[in-house]
């Protein structure tokens, strides 16, 4: 892989304050509706790129965003204990991973990743932030120098690898050829 030039890039961040989250799940609903096909045609939260880990009895709610895609499950496990409650292994992990069903498209099983609502139509702020009336989610932007080409290539390779793992290389190639013949 060639060494990419340093480029200015806007880094988008969503700051999460679990103390303010009341578990209303509006963030899950709007994210799943925005990513439905066609847009806003359904609100199945299994399609959401944000999930709220909940313990209503203790009034604990922790929003977790879908992050990087893992093509193989990791060797270790994390266990969190918060206010005496032990959460499931991997409960706060952000990865779509072969060992669990969270952060996977329910119909196809393909991995989900938060895309900051960078879709058509463009949003002035991510929709989950706009819908969080409790202000548990706040949006920030800053400019940084990054090796942009390498980062983009890595994302694309990871996405392609997960498709190959799920459907097989030949099926993937056949589908791309069939799609390219349309129109």
Residue 30, judged by CB atoms within 10 A of its CB (0-12, 13-18, 19+), counts as: buried
Q: Does 117 bind ligand SF4 (CB under 6 A)?
A: yes
Least CB distance to ligand SF4 at residue 10 (A): 14
Least CB distance to ligand SF4 at residue 165 (A): 23
Cα end-to-end span (Å), the chain: 34
Q: Which of 13, 22, 152, 154 binds ligand SF4 (CB under 6 A)?
A: 22
Q: Which of 31, 64, 70, 95 binds ligand SF4 (CB under 6 A)?
A: 31
Closer CB to ligand SF4, 91 or 172, in the complex: 91
Q: Which of 53, 64, 90, 127 binds ligand SF4 (CB under 6 A)?
A: 127
Q: Which of 36, 91, 134, 172 binds ligand SF4 (CB under 6 A)?
A: 134
Between the alpha carbon of residue 20 and those of residues 11, 56, 78, 139, the distances in Å are: 24, 14, 24, 15
Distance separating alpha carbons of residues 43 and 32, to the nearest angstrom: 5
Q: Which of 4, 9, 23, 110 binds ligand SF4 (CB under 6 A)?
A: 23
Alpha helices in the chain, H assignment, sequence order: 26-34, 127-131, 148-167, 169-181
Q: Encode 148-181: b = buried (16+ Cβ within 10 Å), e = exposed.
A: eeeeeeeeeeeeeebbeebbeeeeeeeeeeeeee
Q: Does 63 bind ligand SF4 (CB under 6 A)?
A: yes
Q: Hey, which residues between 37 and 56 contact ligand SF4 (CB under 6 A)? A: 49-50, 52
Q: Which residues bind ligand SF4 (CB under 6 A)?
A: 21-27, 31, 34, 49-50, 52, 61, 63, 65, 114-117, 126-128, 131-132, 134, 136-137
């Amino acid at each position: 892989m060639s060494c990419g030039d340093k480029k200015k890039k806007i880094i988008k961040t969503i700051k999460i304050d679990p103390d303010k989250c009341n578990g209303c799940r509006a963030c899950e609903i709007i994210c799943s509706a925005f990513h439905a096909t066609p847009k806003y045609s359904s609100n199945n939260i299994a399609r959401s790129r944000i999930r709220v880990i909940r313990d209503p009895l203790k009034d604990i709610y922790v929003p977790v965003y879908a992050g990087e895609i893992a093509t193989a499950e990791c060797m270790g496990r994390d266990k969190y204990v918060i206010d005496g409650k032990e959460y499931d292994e991997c409960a706060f992990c952000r990865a779509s991973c072969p060992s669990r069903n969270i952060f996977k498209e329910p119909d196809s099983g393909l991995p989900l990743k938060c895309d900051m609502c960078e879709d058509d139509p463009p949003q002035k702020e991510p929709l989950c932030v706009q819908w969080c009336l409790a202000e548990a989610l706040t949006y920030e932007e800053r400019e940084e120098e990054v090796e942009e080409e390498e980062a983009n290539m890595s994302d694309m390779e990871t996405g392609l690898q997960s498709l190959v793992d799920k459907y097989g290389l030949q099926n993937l190639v056949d589908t791309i050829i069939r799609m390219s013949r349309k129109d």
